[in-house]
Chains A and B, each alone.
Chain A
């Protein structure tokens, strides 16, 4: 039995806290090994140790049976390891081949040999079924193809052991399936794949072996076929979690938010929203799905006043609000959980209390005669910390010291506690643990049942299927379809998300 990777009794401490405790992780050559666990379970730390970015405090590492000292990523690459990061590192203005050979260009007489580079890319593409055109510019590619370029970068550098960090987060279900086919072709050629994910359906589908981490320790390593998805969740979270669709009363409130034929442009001045019409009624959750970058972010921005509308009307609780400023919109009844919490949702350098104050910093009783009543703010923040079970030492704790999930809870606590008639919720559980996710979903359902109108934008299909009363699918800045979560399938939504619905429908009719 030969192991591609053997990590034995790895312990890695940061200060007093051990991110990895006595972790033993062995990957057989030629298998697809999934590494799963919640955020903060230690997956990334373990991979950083494997890749030479962190030095373990204890433990031994062996690659292909030889004990090695992994002192830098360079060593890791020389040993045949390759990492495909979740967030691509590509230069948009360069071609596929130029990106792949960046920093290790093939040269002839001191000049870059483009022909040879393209030929090499073409050769690898056909060998692994990774179809890309080496001469295309990266900026013209879809996300799925960009990921292939990242994989090719790793292959060109001679990797035989390929580590993929959350590779499917940005893909449509169909693109994910293509990726899995490619991963299979790797193992058929004797290569090894480590697949980091917390999307368990995929783990079940693609992996041969699963290792589960929790709180920095290995809960278990098992062949995938001996596991069920429920067992996997229990191993990850330490208790049962329900993925069932939430129970609900029928929604029959009046219209709260109405968008009619809204168009908008992106930062480069190109059309990004085209004729978007959405109606959200009191007491219902309208879900918006789509592959990241198909107009969902911009939709949230025009509603909250952060992006101008070039055509169309928006009304909230009867007030016309297109191109109003964020303050006016908030005063008209908007609460907004932004998609990128670090960029928009918090001031990470400030305390929880200070973050809770945002948006009500001109409202009594938080502020009187222009003076902030910090004692009141802190008291309220303390209450919200308990109510939303935010894990923090006190309301004075700086937001940057919190984990991603707790940071998100600060945003939710601030926005949900305003009891506004309309909630715009964008990616509520991005980067949040499965355990914490449930609590967030409970809170969203509570808001719905108490009569709030909710527009829920998420790239996580299962989240939308679980919570939404109606689902709108976005592609290329348009709403390309509405489906009923009770009766739809992942395939139906996947086709809509890929923008293929209309042609498919035509063929069918």
Chain B
């Protein structure tokens, strides 16, 4: 019983018919459709709590883009999502699924803060060492899932999800029991001024992390497009058996790709503590890692597209603050809208699988 049927059968459908719009346009249409449907879903929920959806959405918009400060607020929220999105894109494009970005973010955040408040160093060097610590922590946090995946084929989705819980609780423990600031909240001592990331605007916590994120996304895009290693990685993501056959060292690369993804996840945490909070606080970055993963998925693993979706998620988060103050709609509406988006995206992936349009990217859910 051969498995070659798809080739023989599909040849009946004329080639011209299967062209459709180019890949990226198709992706964009899908994204916009997902977002539009989700807003409609959100509107229904808002109606159910007795609010006017138009008013709520208008407030949301105003909260996100109403003034320079608010735009800065949106960008501030988007920054960790972009960096986490890059982490997720790296794995996705290599045919892997790192859902543990959240955990790597927590560990990276803690490691950077620890370097920030424990040591005295000259300005630039302090930042560099703290960022390096964040990257290293992210790497370490994905080391076991990466090794297991490469050695035994253990599904990385399961292992990285499990690592998330450990990361959140471990950093909580370290913050409350070991490094707690006397008399303060569940947070560590503030980091030294020398370890802070430069800010972009005088009255905002928006910092160069935004450019780090955008730079990484563009870098990943160029890497995939123009380098030999990026080509091999993309081939692994598109058809791992083809890559293996063509001489790509898939086992070794699986390990390296996951490590790189974890490193960027750790960096996201470092940027957040060094640039925004200037200390480590328990639960300092709720859901940024997951938002990054969703932003990457929504963009089909394309880092440039991911910047767009991450900015959208950032704006939603920022806008929801004003929405909560001025209307009766709770901030959780945003979570509802995001959940709708996830549903739409997974439905699209399913539909594409059904109609046999994939065989392309293999994400293991």
Q: Which residues of A contact B68 (CB under 8 A)?
A: none
- Cα–Cα, bound, A371→B247 (Å): 18
Minimum CB–CB distance from B322 to chain A (whole Å) comes to: 42
Q: In the complex, what distance in Å separates the CA atom of A370 from the CA atom of B1?
A: 41
Interface residues on A, range: 35 or more
**Can you list 22 pairs linking A and B with CB atoms under 8 Å apart?**
A16-B17, A86-B8, A292-B2, A326-B247, A330-B247, A338-B245, A340-B3, A342-B7, A344-B242, A348-B359, A349-B23, A349-B361, A358-B242, A359-B246, A361-B228, A370-B228, A371-B228, A372-B228, A401-B19, A402-B15, A403-B11, A404-B11
Known contacts A342-B6, A372-B227; A325/B249 CB under 8 A:
yes
The answer to the question of A341 belonging to the interface, with a C-beta cut-off of 8 Å to chain B, is yes
- In the complex, the 4 A-B pairs of residues with the closest C-beta atoms, listed nearest first: A17-B14, A327-B247, A349-B360, A15-B17
A346-B5 contact in complex given A19-B12, A361-B231, C-beta closer than 8 Å: no
Do B1 and A293 have beta carbons less than 8 Å apart?
yes
**Known A15-B14, A361-B231, A401-B19; contact A44-B245, beta-carbon cutoff 8 A:** no
**Bound Cα distance A408, B159 (Å):** 39
Determine whether the beta carbon of A40 is less than 8 Å from that of B7. Answer: no
Please state if B13 and A14 are interface contacts (CB–CB under 8 Å).
yes
Question: How far is the CB of A166 from the nearest CB of chain B, in Å?
Answer: 8
A340 and B4 contacting across the interface, CB-CB below 8 Å: yes
Is the C-beta of A357 less than 8 angstroms from some C-beta in chain B? yes
Interface size class of B (residues with CB under 8 A): 35 or more
B12, A45: Cβ atoms closer than 8 Å: yes
Enumerate chain A interface residues (CB-CB to B < 8 A).
Answer: 14-17, 19, 39-40, 42-45, 86-88, 143, 146, 169-170, 292-293, 304, 306, 325-327, 330-331, 336, 338, 340-350, 354, 357-359, 361-362, 367, 370-372, 374, 398, 400-405, 407, 427, 430-431
Other A-B pairs, 12, CB within 8 Å; known A19-B13, A400-B18: A19-B12, A87-B2, A306-B244, A306-B245, A327-B248, A330-B247, A348-B360, A349-B239, A349-B359, A349-B361, A358-B243, A398-B23
Contact B229 A404 (CB under 8 A): no
State A374–B4 Cα separation when bound (angstroms): 31
Q: How far is the CB of A307 from chain B (nearest CB, A)?
A: 11
Q: A342-B4, A372-B226 are in contact. Are A431 and B360 (CB under 8 A)?
A: no
| Residue in B18, B227, B232, B239 whose beta carbon sits within 8 Å of that of A346 in the complex | B239
What chain A residues lie within 8 Å of B48 (beta carbons)?
none
Give every chain A residue within 8 A of B9 (Cβ-Cβ).
Answer: 44
Q: How far is the CA of A361 from the CA of B233 in the complex (A)?
A: 11
Tell me the complex Cα distance, A358–B231, Å. Answer: 9
Q: What is the bound-complex CA distance between A39 and B241, given in angstroms?
A: 26
Residues in chain A near residue B1, CB distance under 8 A: 87-88, 143, 146, 170, 292-293
Residues on B with C-beta less than 8 A from A344 are: 239, 241-242, 245
